[in-house]
Amino acid sequence: MKKYKVAVVGASGAVGREVLNTLASRQFPFESLRLFSSARSAGKAVQVGAADFELEELKDDESFKGLDVVFFTSGSSVSEKHAFRAAKAGALVIDNASVFRMRPDVPLVVPEVNGATLELARGTRVVANPNCTTAQMVMALKPLHDRFRVRRVILASYQAVSGKGQKGIDEFERQVKQYARGEKLTVEAFPHPIAFNALPHIDVFQGDGFTGEEQKVMNETRKILGDESIRVVATCVRVPVVNCHSESVTIETERPVTPEQAREALRSFPGVKLLDDPATNAYPLATNVSGKDDVYVGRIRRDPSLPDGAHGLTFWVVGDNLRKGAALNAVQIAEAAVQRGLI
Ligand SMILES: NC(=O)c1ccc[n+]([C@@H]2O[C@H](COP(=O)([O-])OP(=O)(O)OC[C@H]3O[C@@H](n4cnc5c(N)ncnc54)[C@H](OP(=O)(O)O)[C@@H]3O)[C@@H](O)[C@H]2O)c1
């Protein structure tokens, strides 16, 4: 079996560590593995499977020579500076930052949903990994769109602190301890205290009143589903949950749909699990979905606010933002690229 020379940029971060765990657990065939971070973490050891690897500082003039695939998990400024340089040096780049996602020459890929668009990467050699909230939502939308044609999506998200990376998790844990000790909560990573709160503010406010996160969901959903006519509106909220984003999703459809037909469509879609039995209090929960690969859907019901109640539904979607929302999807892209002979 062919083996690949792999690098992870941002390997000490929340997503980067999860990429390493996923490469090991899915036995991605790597011949060598280079781990990059900033100077802050350089020199530290990181365990991947049974072996230890050392973090290297990513230098401005890093050549990326000889690498087959490079995962970027360091944020937009690092990707902006280095991703196309790595691609020019011959690697296939799988980028977790948002900076290239809407470029027409860069595919934005969720393999189960639009894996064929990976072919576009033969040109640029750069593939974008979607926003975490978008990735899990399109997993639920795709089988419904294929059968019932989704025309409109209304999203309210309840997003975990791990979506802000390691500093988000650290801030939440620190504030819970400060609260327990009766101290004032100190704020660094989020705009207000996140402990015992809900913040309708993720990413930066844009001129139209939406946040960057909300705009990403609205734009990326259309690109991934390959249908610019779908209308999407999002309100993204940060909640004091460590890991897993939860979403209330309401859709309008062109064709009539019943909850049972939707369950049937979702049940047979790879990567989606149905958990929808209100009689036994069974519905997806962040604490249960954390660490799982599948996206969970439940609470599927008719939308009685629609004129005939037949052309739409409302439901609840929970996914692990570090896994399907980031690392797992990125490694699945690498696996699909191997199958297509892109690396
Ligand atoms: N968290 C999520 O749920 C999620 C989901 C989808 C996409 N993403 C995206 O994934 C990326 C990483 O997010 P994260 O949550 O993992 O953040 P994070 O926990 O803060 O990790 C950031 C990583 O980038 C490294 N880094 C920072 N500056 C660098 C530089 N100048 N050169 C090289 N490496 C540098 C850090 O290294 P040090 O340890 O040295 O600081 C660390 O390894 C972001 O683009 C984010 O938008 C995140």
pLDDT tens digit string along 146-181? 999 999 999 999 999 999 999 999 999 999 999 999
Residue 67 in contact with residue 91, Cβ under 8 Å?
yes
**82, 145, 236, 245: which is the annotated catalytic residue?**
245
Angstrom distance (rounded) from CA 182 to CA 337 = 52
List all residues 6 or more positions away from 83 whose beta carbon is below 8 Å from its beta carbon.
70, 72, 93, 95, 97, 100, 126
Cβ–ligand 1 contact at 46 (below 6 Å): no
Q: What does the pLDDT read at residue 309?
A: 87
Backbone angles phi, psi at 329, to 5 degrees: -60, -40
- Note if 145 is an active site residue: no
Residue 1 has pLDDT above 90, yes or no: no
Q: Percent of the chain, pLDDT > 70?
A: 100
Q: Which protein residue's CA is at the shortest distance from atom 31 of ligand 1?
A: 38
**For range 322-331, the mean pLDDT:** 98
**Residue 312: band (very low, low, confident or very high) from pLDDT cuts 50, 70, 90:** very high
Q: Which two tokens stand for residue 27?
A: 């036995």
Domain locations in the chain as residue ranges: 4-129+326-339, 133-321
Task: Please give the CATH superfamily to which domain 4-129+326-339 belongs.
Answer: NAD(P)-binding Rossmann-like Domain (3.40.50.720)
Q: Which residue from 38, 59, 170, 321 has its CB within 8 A of the most atoms of ligand 1, so it is best to mutate?
A: 38
Q: How do 295-302 and 312-319 pair as beta strands?
A: antiparallel
Asked about 236 being catalytic, the answer comes back as: no
321 Cβ closer than 6 Å to some ligand 1 atom: yes
The two counts, helices (H) then strands (E), for the chain are 10, 13
Cα–Cα distance, 189 to 172 (Å, whole number): 9
In the numeric block, which tokens belong to residue 64?
């990326």
- Which pLDDT score, from 0 to 100, does residue 165 have? 95
54-97: pLDDT as tens digits = 999 999 999 999 999 999 999 999 999 999 999 999 999 999 99
pLDDT attached to residue 92: 98
What number does CATH give the domain 133-321?
Answer: 3.30.360.10
Q: What is the pTM of this model?
A: 0.97
Q: Is residue 252 pLDDT above 90, yes or no?
A: yes
**Mean pLDDT computed over 41-60:** 96
Question: What SS3 class is residue 78?
Answer: helix
Question: How far is it, in rounded angstroms, from Cα 186 to Cα 202?
Answer: 18
Cβ neighbours, 10 Å, residue 47: 12
Q: Which residue has the tokens 């004129």?
A: 307
pLDDT value of position 2: 95
Reduced to 3 states (helix: H, G, I; strand: E, B; else coil), residue 297 is: strand
Which segments within 60-190 are labelled E, that is strand?
A: 69-72, 92-95, 126-128, 150-159
Are 251 and 313 contacting, i.e. CB atoms less than 8 angstroms apart? yes
Average pLDDT score, the chain: 97
